[in-house]
Amino acid sequence: MRTIIHVDLDAFYCSVEQRRNPTLRHKAFVVAGRADLRGVVATASYQARHYGIKAGTPTAKALQLCPDLIVVPPDHTAYLEAAREVYQLIKHENPLIAQASIDEAYIDVSDDAHRPLAFAQHIQQRVAEDLQLPLSCGIASNKLVAKAATDMGKKLARAGELPKAIYVVPHGQEAAFLAPLPVQTLCGIGPKTTQRLWDLGITTLGEIAWTRQSDIRATFTRRHAEELIRWAQGIDHSELEYDIQAKSVSHATTLMRDVDEPAVIESTLLTLSYDVARRLQQKQLRGWVVSCYVRWEDRRGVGRQSRLARATNLGDEIYARASHILAQLWDGRRLIRHVAVGVSQLGAYPQQLGLWDVDDDGQAEQAALEIIDDTEQFWGKPLSTHRMARGALRRFSRGSI
């Protein structure tokens, strides 16, 4: 009998910050970007959520909702390390674990289906005691319902406190569990589908599963309709995928203000390119396709991608292709708000030198540093993103490969 446990670290970024700084416990605080740099909330403590603050709330608005709110800048390196610790701890207890995101994973306990609750309690206790991090669990016969069970457990937990919940959906009770829940409960039903269902007057999963099937089939494509009905009945045959290799690596930034200065955009693109290169090299991956995406001052965006002649993880090669794409997207006059660079079609490809490749004696690195220096002079101060690029260039130049 198939049994899946969904584990979700409670307010993960905030929990990591509380582990590092215990004085934050029981206080309203957020992990967020600076308000004056158009930052947004990544995670809010449960005390902060009492004020209506949640992930995606602009930091400036969060401070209006709670004037005494504490804003903690994000430290993604610390969060990745904490997630790795949790993942390794659980994997030691049960190797059949599939990590879904930095703070979520699924565990297949089908071979031990008679005691999944005891296993979930054991994992919850070990993570709390060994790593000082809280997590919640949902137990069901498949991934879809297990995640919904976790969400239900969190909602039923006492407001203002970390949930540390465990919720079990018995086998055969999946449809009954889902029936009264809002249609947007399931992770497979996004905002657009939700709105279309609301337009039909359908608000609960039970209506999809049993009473309004004819309306569902008449409104959606055949495949989508059958999928919705199956999900609403708690049927999900998707398998766990263990140790999934990343399909792409990307990095993005929102600028301090809307800009049209080429030097600033060029330096930002350089920063992002070398950060992507660093992450690729850490994973020992190379990619064939480079993409660049920009968002204008009106928040509309456009992006393109381009295939390379050979797979790469070198910052100068990624930057050169991203810069070429940007030249096609931007006329140099329109204000830019947001920039992103990515590399996809990844694999552990061996490095291949082209026929005309020669050692550039650090010329690419020197040119890149000159661009950064020019931009810092433009702003009149060193910017955090450009300092990051400078460090990335020193560690991951062509000569270090």
Tokens at 109, concatenated: 């306990």
Q: How far is 311 from 13, CA to CA, in rounded Å?
A: 34
Alpha-carbon dihedral angle through residues 144, 147, 149, 155, given to the nearest 10 degrees:
-140
CA-nearest of 244, 207, 258 to 228 is 207
Determine contact, residues 289/306, Cβ cutoff 8 Å.
yes
Question: How far apart, in whole angstroms, are the C-alpha atoms of residue 308 and residue 136?
Answer: 44
CA angle 396, 301, 183 (to 5 degrees): 105
* Alpha-carbon span 235 to 241, nearest angstrom: 18
How many residues make up the chain in this entry? 401
Q: How far apart are CA 265 and CA 386, in angstroms?
A: 11
Q: What span, in angstroms and rounded, lies between the C-alpha atoms of 103 and 157?
A: 19
Question: Distance (Å, rounded) from C-alpha 73 to C-alpha 78?
Answer: 12
Q: Is 104 a catalytic residue?
A: yes
The Cα–Cα gap between 141 and 240 comes to 12
Which DSSP helix (H) or strand (E) runs through 68? none
Determine the Cα angle at 291 with ends 285 and 293, to 5°.
Answer: 135
DSSP letter at 362?
A: T
Which of 17, 85, 93, 104 does the annotation list as catalytic?
104
**Residues with catalytic annotation?**
104
